[in-house]
A = this chain, B = another copy of it.
Amino acid sequence: MRHFQRAAPKAAHIPKKIQAAFKLINAPLYSVEERIGAQAREFDPAVEGYVAYACQSSGKRLRPALSLLAGGATGNVSSAHLELAVILELIHAATLVHDDIMDGAEIRRGQPTANAKWGNTLSVLLGDAMFAHALRLSTSFTSAEITRRIAGATAEVCSGEIIQTQRRFDLSLSIADYLRIIEMKTAMLFGAATELGAMLNEASPEVIGAMKSFGLKLGTAYQIYDDCLDLAGNEADAGKTLGTDLRKGKLTLPVLHLLQNCPESERARWNNVILSGEGVDELVAALTARGSLKNAIAFARNLLAEAAAALEIVPPNRFHKALRDICQSVSELLGQFDCR
């Protein structure tokens, strides 16, 4: 390995409320971290350093945590669950490498992005190599069905991102379209984590279905939370300038609600803000005044309640409780936008 300095390992930026639910799986999460590091070393030595860097900066390890908790909630946390966790995180990290290229992002979680360090060309290839490696790892499961679903979820994530890109600045985007996009681009990997975590334990089809439903709903709610953070969070929490999505033409739930619920006379003005990028601050203020943020919060909280309800058919244990606690934590995190 040449030309690189490994970034120092750093505490992941996980909201404290969610961190508590991870305590139960601290030891296996640590093993996942080690395995991710070991994966980088499976690449050609000339490529290893790039992969190690990209994996380190990918963040919160939500998908690994869900894979492990789903294992615990439906039986036990086996070595296969660790492997699932590593694979889903590699896929997520690969999508971030490509997202950062497309967004022209220079910093992610306080570190220069791969594209900022090595350029877009290398970063396109780096993401590709990480995808391919993750899918290679996924062939080690005994059941080809697991492999198939991981590849399927990956294809959905990419298709979701294509549709999102295609519909930037598209004022005809419906709320249903938005929900479909975030289900594909975000919720699918959450759903794969919880579904496959159960499937690895040979849970019943009902339990597998319930766990998948849990992951999809949690993932969708989490993306709505993240989208609200971009519009109304404080900049330190969001880790970026507010209104970034809007300036890039990404229309998220509060904005879509505003467009559908403001008086006709006002709508032309907001359309103009979206298309021109001028006046974003006023639009953000209107999201509160018109109740559009409140609506998004309520929508996400409803999803979280449905996610928790989906778990009801799964016999309770402490992992099961931790999954419900995550829903509760995201619901509380949504509260920060409530007073505005």
Q: Are the CB atoms of B128 and A165 closer together than 8 Å?
A: no
State whether the Cβ of A159 lies closer than 8 Å to any Cβ in chain B: yes
Chain A binding site: helix, strand, loop or mixed by DSSP? helix
Contacts of A138 in B (CB 8 A): 151
Contacts of A132 in B (CB 8 A): 131, 135, 151, 154-155, 157-158
Interface string of A151-177 (1 = CB under 8 A from B): 110110111011101100000000000
Contacts A47-B159, A47-B162, A47-B163 given; indicate if A98 touches B122 (C-beta within 8 A). no
Instruction: Tell me the complex Cα distance, A126–B126, Å.
Output: 16
How many A residues touch B, CB cutoff 8 Å? 42
State whether the Cβ of A125 lies closer than 8 Å to any Cβ in chain B: yes
Q: Are the CB atoms of A136 and B155 closer together than 8 Å?
A: yes
Contacts A98-B124, A101-B124, A131-B131 given; indicate if A139 touches B151 (C-beta within 8 A). yes
| Interface, chain A (partner B; CB < 8 A) | 43-44, 46-47, 50, 95, 98, 101-102, 120-122, 124-129, 131-133, 135-136, 138-140, 144, 147-148, 151-152, 154-155, 157-159, 161-163, 165-166, 184
- 6 contacting pairs across A/B (C-beta < 8 A): A44-B159, A102-B125, A129-B162, A135-B154, A138-B151, A144-B144
Q: Are the CB atoms of B162 and A46 closer together than 8 Å?
A: yes
Instruction: Tell me the complex Cα distance, A133–B136, Å.
Output: 14
Contacts of A144 in B (CB 8 A): 139, 144, 147
Contacts of A135 in B (CB 8 A): 132, 135, 151, 154
Residue in A101, A125, A136, A154 with the greatest tally of chain B CB atoms within 10 Å? A125
